[in-house]
Amino acid sequence: MLATSTQILTSNPEELTAENVTAAAEIANTLLLSANATENVRVAAVATVSQLLNATVPDDTKVINGTPLYDFSCVFWNYIQKDWSTSGCSKGNTSDGLMRCFCNHTTNFAALWSYRENYEYAKALDVISIVGLSLSILGLVVTIIYHIKENFFRNTDGQQSNLNSKLALLCIYLSLLAFIITFLSGVQNSSRQNDTKVQGDDLTNDLLNSDEHIEPDRGSCTAVAALLHFLLMATFMWNSVYSTQLVLLVRSMRRSLPTHWTPLSVTLGWGVPACFMVITLAVSYRVDNPLGYRQEEFCWLAALDKKQQFNFGKPMFWAFLLPIGLILIYNIVLLVLTSMATCKVDTRLTSSNKKSSLRSRFLISLSLVVLLGRSWTLGYFTPLNSGKAYQFFSILFCICTTTQGLQIFILFTARKRAFRATISRSMQYISSVNIPLNSRQYNLQRKWKNCNMNQSKTYKDLSGIEVTTSKTL
């Protein structure tokens, strides 16, 4: 009864919807694989499959919901093997957009199809990202060079009281710079699925393993996603380490931290992100299905399901957004504590000194806001909006995060007197350098001779050769 009813319901294939086709195909497949199915049941199931082949599709290359065709195989139902078989069947030329199947025997035959996802690749905000990240690279490179020169090669006070803070700052700069460089050079998936060759043009009639094609991993895109995950997590972890150090020093009025703090900070700053990356790979990555770990359109953690809806079971949520959100909350609490301690103004100061002190303390708080990545909190508001609000938060988030390296350079390097003095000396040195010109110098001597109102001039060059010219007045 089920086989007959399914055959009747699919007798008008031009009226079938995508859901009808999927349900009928699943019923037919269950009937064909049933051990209790009689030959009449299997004949009805194969007839159902034949009717489904006549279902109306948008065009010859796309089927249900615009999903592009990847490959197909010509088969018949083998009642002895109780499975589809390609024996005696072959594929024809599909260059004209039509699928052709040929079998050298009379039987119930069908075509098995394999589809692949039709991904849309994001192109928005590319210009802002490239310009902002390029400026950040320049700013971070200068900041790192100046930071190493001033704080590691030149020991001004002969003490190591703030070595931990210097090390934490350097690690923040390095991890952020490495993340930006990796992002610019490798985030675009060069081997993405939409660019791969459609196998339907191949006349090899192999039996398909699945009706959904998943491009096997080629390694490079997954490696970039894992590296980006590690570097960005390391940046935020070192932010937490640095802010913790500030609170311990400022709130307790200490000049140094315990000796075990340096190895502990290194373990937390680099070890915790590495553990997150390894655990995420072990849980969600498979070579035959890399899209469980990363996205297809670009090399970053997977976030959306097949319906392009945010999926809380994907690594983007539990391996990145959740831990980063906890780190941001922790850093905000530490930032408030540090600002409360540093923004207190001595009541004994004059009005002008109070104004200068407040400005200086405001810049300190602003520098910490930029360094600790407060702008990344805007990313959590982006999915909650739509329309113009979504565009506004996306642009604001892109500008603030891509220029973070430039902001760090301005607040931590460019406004320092020592850096400005170094730049001033360099400019003076460049302007004072004499560039030799490829010219010839002469020692000129003028001699007057009153002879027939003629004026004679003699020139002598440095080699001692005299050249005389005369001119009639």
**What confidence tier does 431 reach under pLDDT thresholds 50, 70, 90?**
confident
Q: What angle do CA 369, 275, 136 make, to 5 degrees?
A: 35
Are 147 and 229 in the same domain? yes
Are 293 and 190 in the same domain? yes
Assigned domain for 437 exists: no
Query: Rounded CA gap, 24 and 43, in Å?
Result: 15
Instruction: Return the higher-pLDDT residue of 5 and 162.
Output: 5
**What confidence tier does 385 reach under pLDDT thresholds 50, 70, 90?**
low
Residue 70 in this model has a pLDDT that exceeds 60? yes
Assigned domain for 81 exists: yes
Are 169 and 194 in the same domain? yes
Residue 408 in this model has a pLDDT that exceeds 90? yes
Are 275 and 399 in the same domain? yes
**What confidence tier does 273 reach under pLDDT thresholds 50, 70, 90?**
very high
Are 241 and 186 in the same domain? yes
Answering whether pTM is above 0.85, one says: no
pLDDT tens, position by position, 9-23: 888 877 888 788 888
Are 423 and 453 in the same domain? no
The reported pLDDT for the residue numbered 202 is: 67
Contact by Cβ (8 Å): 140, 405: yes
The reported pLDDT for the residue numbered 457 is: 54
Are 208 and 187 in the same domain? yes
Are 130 and 106 in the same domain? no
Are 219 and 367 in the same domain? yes
The reported pLDDT for the residue numbered 15 is: 81
Are 131 and 98 in the same domain? no
The reported pLDDT for the residue numbered 440 is: 56
Residue 252 in this model has a pLDDT that exceeds 80? no
Assigned domain for 434 exists: no
Q: Give the pLDDT mean for 296-312.
A: 84
Assigned domain for 25 exists: yes
The reported pLDDT for the residue numbered 228 is: 96
Contact by Cβ (8 Å): 243, 168: no
Assigned domain for 340 exists: yes
Query: Rounded CA gap, 18 and 52, in Å?
Result: 11
Most confident of 57-66, 118-127, 167-176, 287-296: 167-176
Parent domain of 335: 126-428
Average pLDDT, the chain: 80
Residue 205 in this model has a pLDDT that exceeds 90? no
CATH of the domain at 187: 1.20.1070.10
The reported pLDDT for the residue numbered 352 is: 60
Assigned domain for 324 exists: yes
Instruction: Return the higher-pLDDT residue of 66 and 99.
Output: 99
3-state secondary structure the chain: CHHHHHHHHCCCHHHCCHHHHHHHHHHHHHHHHCCCCCHHHHHHHHHHHHHHCCCCCCCCCECHHHCEEEEEEEEEEECCCCEEECCCEEECCCCCCCCCEEECCCCCEEEEEEECCCCCCCCCCHHHHHHHHHHHHHHHHHHHHHHHHHHHHCCCCCCCCCHHHHHHHHHHHHHHHHHHHHHHHHCECCCCHHHCCCHHHCCCCCCCCCCECCCCCCCHHHHHHHHHHHHHHHHHHHHHHHHHHHHHHHHHCCCCCCCCHHHHHHHHHHHHHHHHHHHHHHHHCCCCCHHHCECCCECCECCECCCCCECCCCHHHHHHHHHHHHHHHHHHHHHHHHHHHHCCCCCCCCHHHHHHHHHHHHHHHHHHHHHCCHHHHHHHCHHHCCCHHHHHHHHHHHHHHHCHHHHHHHHHHHCCHHHHHHHHHHHHHHHHCCCCCCCCCEEEECCCCCECCEEEEEEEECCCCEEEEEEEC
For the chain, what is the domain count?
Answer: 3
Give the domain-ending residue among 115, 136, 153: 115
The reported pLDDT for the residue numbered 428 is: 81
Give the domain-ending residue among 65, 95, 115: 115
Give the domain-ending residue among 84, 115, 146: 115
**129: Cβ contacts below 8 Å, ≥ 6 apart:** 398, 402
The reported pLDDT for the residue numbered 277 is: 96
Assigned domain for 8 exists: yes
Most confident of 9-13, 33-37, 310-314: 310-314
Query: Rounded CA gap, 122 and 298, in Å?
Result: 9
Instruction: Return the higher-pLDDT residue of 202 and 397.
Output: 397
The reported pLDDT for the residue numbered 227 is: 96
The reported pLDDT for the residue numbered 264 is: 92
Are 277 and 156 in the same domain? yes
Are 173 and 287 in the same domain? yes
Assigned domain for 436 exists: no
